[in-house]
Structure 1
Amino acid sequence: MFVECRGTYAWSSKVCLIFLQVFALTISMEESVALASDGVFGNSESVINRKPARRKLDDIAGSINIDCGLPEDCKYIDAETGLQYTSDASFIRSGINKNISSKFSSTTLHKSLTNVRSFPQGKRNCYTLRPPEGHGTMYLIRASFMYGNYDELNQVPQFDLYIGVNMWDSVKLDNASHLVMKEILHAPSDDDIYVCLVNIGYGEPFISSLEVRHFHDSSYKTESGSLALYRRLDAGSTTNEIVRFKDDAYDRIWFPYNLPDCESLNTTVPIDSHAETEYKLPSKVMTTAIRPMNSSASLDFDFDIGDSTLEFYVYMHFAELEGLQENQTRNFSITLNGNPWGEANIVPKYLHSRTVNNKQPVRGSKLKFSIYKTLNSSLPPILNAMEIYMVKGLLQAPTCQEDVNGISRIKSFYLVEKNWQGDPCAPVQPWDGLTCSNNGYESPRIISLKLSSSGLRGTISPSLLNLTALQFLDLSNNSLTGELPEFLSRLSFLTALNVTGNKLSGSVPPDLIARSEKGSLSLSVANNPDLCPSAQCKENKNSVGPIVAAVVSSLVIIFLALVIIWSLKRRKKATKSLVRSPEETWSLKMENQRFRYLEIVSITNDFQTVLGTGGFGTVYHGCMLNGTQVAIKMLSQSSKQGMKEFRNEARLLMRVHHRNLASLVGYCHEGTNMGLIYEYMAGGNLQNYLSGADISTSPLSWIERLQIAVDAAQGLEYMHCGCKPPIIHRDVKTANILLSEKLQAKIADFGFSRFFSIESETHATTAVVGTIGYIDPEYYISNRLTEKSDVYSFGIVLLELITGKPAIIKDEDNIHIVQWVRSFVERGDIGSIVDPRLQGNLNTNSVWRVLETAMACLPPISIQRVTMSHVVMQLKECLEEEKAHDQTRRMEEQATKSSNLIDLYSLDLELEMGPEAR
């Protein structure tokens, strides 16, 4: 969330003054305690040595309040609030302190905004926060930014803000006096929370203040990810003041909000005075509300989102403020974009708050809410307060924890002076001297560590053993002493070790020498005067040793021979009992996911609802006991080919897991009854959307099509690049791209999929399978299957997304879509290619780029086609370009109707504070 403080508008000065007064008014401490050296309220020793007891929900004494840029060892208590701020010196090791220009200072400006910490060095700089509650709990994290021309350049910078390794938001300021605040609800998986500022080439990042508040774990929940504040509104405010702590126990900031054609109502009696509620809503907010002036009208308001791919959680808060007579009732319902939302019949309680929210995230280019009274209601609807949060998906995995532990110990062991902050491998770039592997699907691993000429002293740290994926280690030109440890030979992936120019002694471990002689390890040990590089350096301290070794070796050989003879005899007898059918093999591996046939009958309600049929059998809709919907593919007993596909799909799905591949929930194998249970994709398949077969669905927008293309491409890229050995799908088509209710795309139907069992294998000779129109022509002619066969099929999918036409266009004399498109491309006629249902609501440049990407997938010779990695990269760039275009178009539309909008405070997405009236 951000708040504008501009001096160019008549109303801005008043708003600024209100906000800055409230900013300085926030929190007073009931119990004064000394601030720990790490900036956390409470005794520093207790914070370091033990996890503190759980606090009361309204006790924010464990909060972190950082004045960024305050000199080291400084702290102060605000004279008006008692809120204690501390320097950020103990939270970050980089950056410089600066004061804003005196031109922007004033007596009403909160002290934390008068100075900043700036970061002229490094691509990324990270704060490390460790709140006393530890991981697994929800925190409200707020970062504030006011430029104030601190560098006297009068050039407002722009930069990115990250929470851990994932993007939080971009920081954009309009002018030097513009105050920007970003707020997020985040539950970290580790005790440390990293807040990182990333330089994107538009000026040096800076920050004014950073605050952390503990939150009730169960109040705000998501399926995954964190919640960034989009709107928080105090409806019907009579004072036009911002409300926060102590009125709000969680220090949420509430902004006043009113609508035209509505009137305010209020009460002086406190709300929830005798009850503890889950959301702990401030009484000052809940004692006011709005209602339509026309008692028969509804409360209508829009939020113009623009980007239909964004997801939101909405919380509406209600409390009855009027003592109703016996003949009076207030009942109402809510719709979102014309569909029922929340609870069906809402009856607010007198002087008691009630929250209505959506259990699943919602999305759309515009969120249109209507609160209307029901038929049995005599009074109009009301709204006391509302919150909207944007889902921030945490898709990027942090560095492998074992690697983090190892490199952190190495940092402490050697007192490394480098700018090692935040996660070792992300975001943007790894720590100086580190190289990380990152395929986008798994946690990054540290594969190279270069600490050459870093002033290292002491022995070689055993914490290097934690870096189990390490391939290159350079410790050269330091002052390391002691022996070259044997444990380095246990780093099985190590291919280069350089310890030249140190003070090591003793001899090189034999295993390292052996690997060096075989050529699997590049070993550099020169310029260590007391280190012997030969395997013959060790003294022979026991002359009996070689004789004993020879005798023992002979006995071992005799013993092994007897064991082998006995094993061969036993193996013949046991052969039959050890041979298992493929079904038995995968059944054993999936025992924890096995369902009985009677359970399948119950889940499908006796196979009542059919979702589809194929050569393998029929797919049924089912609902498990916990409410989870599933799709169950039952094998037809008469299907010979289906049995083969069934086994193949089961074996494949046991080993591949990706967010863009349909996942396996379990299986059934009971006699002749065999079935696979998958996650249910409520949106059906992409073919139905594009063909218009499902009349209940609206046409996909261009941004939605691009997002689907990116999702599907990432699934295929994972199969080709993220799996070892790689997997070829062999039947990529729109019918095999399933969509969730939120239009997330997943590749499905792996019955024809094929592993490349040998890593060096470039192709496989196999019978042609697939669907007419999508089959790679080279594969069809030569039976030579490669990853590029999937690329060709995906090119057809892209053409279908652009045109809305099938692979074989029947109303054009069964012409293939490639031929049909090519005829228009040669004339440069993009308008005739694009699906007319898009109605011109797209960026032509974006369409051309996707079309070019599709055509790059479709050369008849496979070697001329691009890879799926290239396709993913191109499509992501197109998606970002289209989002930017859509944002510009939306802003232009907003400008044309600005006279009808309500002038309120600007928040996170540069949109108006409140929704527009309808």
Structure 2
Amino acid sequence: MAARPLLLLCFVAAAAAGVLQARAQPDSKGFISIDCGLPGKTSYVDDTTKISYAADDGFTDAGANRNISAEYIRPRLSRRYHNVRSFPDGERNCYTLRSLVAGLKYIVRATFIYGDYDGLNRLPVFDLYIGVNFWTMVNITDPGGPQLIEAIVVVPDDFVHVCLVNTGAGTPFISSLDLRPLENRLYPHVNVTQGLVLLDRRNFGPTADTDVIRRDMIRADRLLGDMYPDDPHDRAWLPWVNPAEWLEISTTRTVENTDDDKFAAPSAVMQTAITPRNGSTSIEFLWESAPQPKDPTPGYVAIFHVSELQLLPSSAVRQFYVNLNGKPLLDGSYTPPFLLAGFVYNPSPFTRYPQYNISINATANSTLPPIINAVEVFSVISTATIGTDSQDASAMMAIKAKYQVKKNWMGDPCVPKKFAWDRLTCSYAVSTPARVTSLNLSSSGLSDDISSSFGNLKAVQYIDLSNNNLTGSIPDALSQLPALTVLDLTGNQLSGSIPSGLLKRMQDGSLNLRYGNNPNLCTNGNSCQPSKNKSKLAIYIAVPVVLVVVIASVTVLLFCQLRQNNQGQNNNGRCLTWRERLRIALESAQGLEYLHKGCNPPLIHRDVKTANILLNARLEAKIADFGLSKAFNLDNTTHVSTNTLMGTPGYMDPEYQATMHPTTRSDVYSFGVVLLELVSGKPAVLHDPEPISIIQWARQRLSQGDIEGVVDARMRGGHDVNAVWKAADVALRCTAPASARRPTMTDVVTQLRDCLELEKRSRGGADVNTSNPSSSYSTYATDHSTDASQNNTSFEMEHNFGRMPSMASGPAAR
């Protein structure tokens, strides 16, 4: 049978999404749907699908709205393709999609209809980026033909940029932009360093080219369509019809997805299929490689969706092989399941060929010809390039939004380097994120107060805000920027006292502070004193917290001194056992529970990490370093408002980073990272080879059931696998992105006690201090200062555990 080429997908899927909330946030399904070039802040609901499309005003602040020429507006062309946003100025222009879930997989889809919107009849070519990674080249070859570009990627932050880059071959433009969330179990090829770009997605079995499965299946000249709501992920499945060579099979019965389904093909697609006509034993088709300027030989992934739609007699057999360029794709044959969505795919990208010939052949034992319901083909792209440090990037985007800075401030602030924002200097390293080191906004027309977000630029050395119209007081957060050497605030309308921290740094010579020509700014503080009542109130609030900090600091200093004097005596180079690690985890959890529930006022630690857990000679754990702790009123509030983001990268709660409101659940998140370190023996941020959070690293393995690939191999199997699973599960629930889904520390203590009981019952031996009366955290007490002085030795957990050399992944699950 002659091979039929698999056409490149150049048809537009009609965008489907729910109503966008205020400030351009995803709808209740997590969808974002943008009609690019729609005027102002308007939106509309599609008459047929009841889906709302928002104008792109809240997503980009560059470009111009234009309408396509009337000759290209056909009666059935969907409304959102009547206009485009064009970007004649600047090399890189970006959309920013916000309020996403960091670490989640998303479908990102851009569509383009040129329609001679500029009257030049000049078809452009330009580049498209997802974040800081190259996505694809957009090559418009037909002025009235729609073009769809779709990718599946992991979004590393709670936002993603989609950028159009002018390469000198025409003005970039865009018609629509969509984003759809996916469960992380789907499309296993996609991870933090690799994404998929759609080449084609086809539905076999419809009897006509118009059979795009959808309520408005023949809209937009019978070519534009997708499957929402039949496909909850809103993927476009276009019909492939060839009645001369294929026999169509269909059913009205539901085709179910299995529990381990990795692709979730919808029932509406799986209800139709094809087999070869005329007694042939094979189905054949092909596609050709589509080189990209930055990837001349891309790798490909193909997914063949297969389901048996006919109830076969017992004597009938349908088995087949799938071959690529004459070589088997599978180790054996495949039998499609009855009314279940089966699939065959290549786990790794195909060896790179100029042409890919697929042949589906019946086996010698098969009494029936092969069958196929649908196919998806993707090229593989790298998403390994690291953007600007997420805290720096978030701070710069907040500064841009507050002061409505235009300039070329689009996309990532520092990466790629040639697109770095104007008047911004960044430092670049090979394997760590770029950092903002210098920011010059002198004479930029800034008004309002000084944004607290400047205080989140922890690597910045130089800030120039001179000759603007800034008002209000100088935030104390600026005094806590460790690398800052020059701060220029001259020529503004600032008032109040200069923070003492800045004055101290100016006096000791570590900071060049320039503050002239601010008439209402006080330097001696006498004329800026608050009223006595306010001062007394501040004292009443501050004294208890200061006392706690002082006591804790003295304890930590004593611990550190003892550690230096008595540290090869107790460690002896050995690795902590699983039972010892569980006890450390439990006692640390009890310490945090005490801070949250037993202290008066209750405290949020704000810097939970392995380095702040101390071990005495008996390996009993103590929470230390309360320098960042904050008191809160348990009766009236659940969080503390702060102006400065505090904590350690790798341990910081992403919700706290976004809201600046630390809660007890922020400590829970950090403790979850510590617990994963105890289980795996790995640091909070791994280099695998690129930086990756231990949370993402562990989730990837645990989602595949690979607990032994997570557990520290240096424990040499000396652990109960159920106890390890339970502890890892507790850690993952502690690090849930949404704080409302995290347990309390009281819950964590209970679960870790259960882990110890599992370990005890499985491996025998004495109980391991699940309620040791000598533990300072067994009950809520009021004074633990003497406990440290009674120990002969103490040392940081990092010295005994956290800084051990990293290892390769452990063995497969037992």
Quote the residue 2:329 is aligned against.
341
| Distance change >3 Å, CA 587–CA 396, structure 1 → 2 | same
| Distance change >3 Å, CA 429–CA 319, structure 1 → 2 | same
Following superposition, the deviation at residue 216 of structure 1 comes to 4.4
Q: For residues 162 and 43 of structure 2, what CA distance do their matches in structure 1 show?
A: 21
Q: For residues 481 and 309 of structure 2, what CA distance do their matches in structure 1 show?
A: 69
Q: For residues 190 and 20 of structure 2, what CA distance do their matches in structure 1 show?
A: 36
Following superposition, the deviation at residue 89 of structure 1 comes to 1.7
Following superposition, the deviation at residue 387 of structure 1 comes to 0.7
Q: Per-residue displacement from partner, 1:777-807 (whole Å, max 9, x unpaired)?
A: xxxxxxxxxxxxxxxxxxxxxxxxxxxxxxx
The one of 250, 262, 265 equivalent to 2:247 is: 265
| 2:92 counterpart letter in structure 1 | R
2:460 pairs with 1:475: no
2:251 pairs with 1:254: no
2:154 pairs with 1:171: no
Following superposition, the deviation at residue 455 of structure 1 comes to 3.1
2:409 pairs with 1:435: no
Alignment of 1:622-701 (within 5 A): 657=687, 659=689
Alignment of 1:517-666 (within 5 A): 520-531=510-521, 578=567, 657=687, 659=689
2:343 pairs with 1:355: yes
Following superposition, the deviation at residue 470 of structure 1 comes to 0.8
Structure 2 residue matching 1:89: 3-state secondary structure = helix
The one of 104, 114, 120 equivalent to 2:82 is: 114
| Distance change >3 Å, CA 331–CA 130, structure 1 → 2 | same
Q: For residues 390 and 690 of structure 2, what CA distance do their matches in structure 1 show?
A: 25
The one of 267, 271, 291 equivalent to 2:276 is: 291
Following superposition, the deviation at residue 167 of structure 1 comes to 1.9
Following superposition, the deviation at residue 576 of structure 1 comes to 9.1
Quote the residue 2:454 is aligned against.
464
Following superposition, the deviation at residue 472 of structure 1 comes to 1.0
Quote the residue 2:586 is aligned against.
none
| 2:35 counterpart letter in structure 1 | D
Quote the residue 2:96 is aligned against.
128
> Scaled by the length of structure 1, what TM-score is found?
0.51
Q: Per-residue displacement from partner, 1:316-368 (whole Å, max 9, x unpaired)?
A: 11123445444331111223355442462211234443212233343322444
Structure 2 residue matching 1:112: 3-state secondary structure = helix
Structure 1 residue matching 2:453: 3-state secondary structure = helix
2:175 pairs with 1:208: yes
Structure 2 residue matching 1:448: 3-state secondary structure = strand
What runs of 5+ residues in structure 1 fail to find an aligned partner? 1-11, 42-46, 56-61, 540-562, 594-651, 671-737, 739-918
Q: For residues 75 and 575 of structure 1, what CA distance do their matches in structure 2 show?
A: 65
Following superposition, the deviation at residue 389 of structure 1 comes to 2.0
| 1:231 counterpart letter in structure 2 | D
| 1:358 counterpart letter in structure 2 | N
Quote the residue 2:534 is aligned against.
none
Q: For residues 314 and 576 of structure 2, what CA distance do their matches in structure 1 show?
A: 66
> Scaled by the length of structure 2, what TM-score is found?
0.57
Quote the residue 2:106 is aligned against.
139
2:72 pairs with 1:104: yes
The one of 357, 360, 370 equivalent to 1:371 is: 360
Q: Which moved more, 1:479-488 or 1:393-402?
A: 479-488
Mapped contact 1:123–1:198 kept (Cα < 8 A): yes
2:362 pairs with 1:395: no
What runs of 5+ residues in structure 2 fail to find an aligned partner? 1-6, 216-226, 530-553, 582-681, 692-696, 698-708, 717-807, 809-814
Quote the residue 2:119 is aligned against.
152
Q: For residues 683 and 183 of structure 2, what CA distance do their matches in structure 1 show?
A: 38
Q: For residues 116 and 100 of structure 1, what CA distance do their matches in structure 2 show?
A: 7
Larger Rg: 1
Q: For residues 302 and 579 of structure 2, what CA distance do their matches in structure 1 show?
A: 40
Quote the residue 1:76 is aligned against.
44
Q: For residues 269 and 430 of structure 1, what CA distance do their matches in structure 2 show?
A: 55
The one of 17, 35, 46 equivalent to 1:67 is: 35
Following superposition, the deviation at residue 271 of structure 1 comes to 4.9
Mapped contact 2:402–2:451 kept (Cα < 8 A): yes
Coordinate RMSD, CA, aligned? 4.7
Q: For residues 584 and 178 of structure 1, what CA distance do their matches in structure 2 show?
A: 72
Q: For residues 654 and 63 of structure 1, what CA distance do their matches in structure 2 show?
A: 31
Structure 1 residue matching 2:478: 3-state secondary structure = helix
Quote the residue 2:200 is aligned against.
231
| Distance change >3 Å, CA 267–CA 432, structure 1 → 2 | same
Following superposition, the deviation at residue 413 of structure 1 comes to 4.8
The one of 153, 158, 167 equivalent to 1:186 is: 153
Quote the residue 2:493 is aligned against.
503
Structure 2 residue matching 1:346: 3-state secondary structure = coil
Q: For residues 580 and 282 of structure 2, what CA distance do their matches in structure 1 show?
A: 56
Alignment of 1:685-724 (within 5 A): none
Mapped contact 2:20–2:32 kept (Cα < 8 A): no
Following superposition, the deviation at residue 386 of structure 1 comes to 0.9
Q: For residues 349 and 148 of structure 1, what CA distance do their matches in structure 2 show?
A: 46
Q: For residues 668 and 134 of structure 1, what CA distance do their matches in structure 2 show?
A: 34
Quote the residue 1:455 is aligned against.
445
Quote the residue 2:369 is aligned against.
380
Quote the residue 1:86 is aligned against.
54
| 1:146 counterpart letter in structure 2 | I
Structure 2 residue matching 1:345: 3-state secondary structure = coil
Quote the residue 2:779 is aligned against.
none
Q: For residues 283 and 51 of structure 2, what CA distance do their matches in structure 1 show?
A: 43
Q: For residues 154 and 139 of structure 1, what CA distance do their matches in structure 2 show?
A: 34
Mapped contact 1:334–1:344 kept (Cα < 8 A): no
Q: For residues 336 and 188 of structure 1, what CA distance do their matches in structure 2 show?
A: 32
Mapped contact 2:273–2:371 kept (Cα < 8 A): no
Structure 2 residue matching 1:382: 3-state secondary structure = coil
Mapped contact 1:343–1:356 kept (Cα < 8 A): no
Mapped contact 1:244–1:251 kept (Cα < 8 A): no
Q: For residues 325 and 486 of structure 2, what CA distance do their matches in structure 1 show?
A: 61
Q: For residues 77 and 537 of structure 1, what CA distance do their matches in structure 2 show?
A: 59
Mapped contact 1:299–1:381 kept (Cα < 8 A): no
Q: For residues 195 and 145 of structure 2, what CA distance do their matches in structure 1 show?
A: 26
Q: Per-residue displacement from partner, 1:447-491 (whole Å, max 9, x unpaired)?
A: 122222233344433332211111110010012345555543322
Q: Per-residue displacement from partner, 1:300-324 (whole Å, max 9, x unpaired)?
A: 6454466786333321111234454
Structure 2 residue matching 1:239: 3-state secondary structure = coil
Q: For residues 80 and 400 of structure 1, what CA distance do their matches in structure 2 show?
A: 43
Following superposition, the deviation at residue 190 of structure 1 comes to 3.4
Following superposition, the deviation at residue 508 of structure 1 comes to 5.5
Quote the residue 2:606 is aligned against.
none
Q: For residues 576 and 63 of structure 1, what CA distance do their matches in structure 2 show?
A: 58
Q: For residues 538 and 84 of structure 1, what CA distance do their matches in structure 2 show?
A: 53
| Distance change >3 Å, CA 187–CA 244, structure 1 → 2 | farther
Alignment of 1:733-812 (within 5 A): none
Mapped contact 1:94–1:419 kept (Cα < 8 A): no
**How many aligned residue pairs are there?**
546
2:302 pairs with 1:314: yes
Q: For residues 77 and 123 of structure 1, what CA distance do their matches in structure 2 show?
A: 33
| Distance change >3 Å, CA 592–CA 471, structure 1 → 2 | farther
Following superposition, the deviation at residue 183 of structure 1 comes to 0.9
Mapped contact 1:291–1:383 kept (Cα < 8 A): no
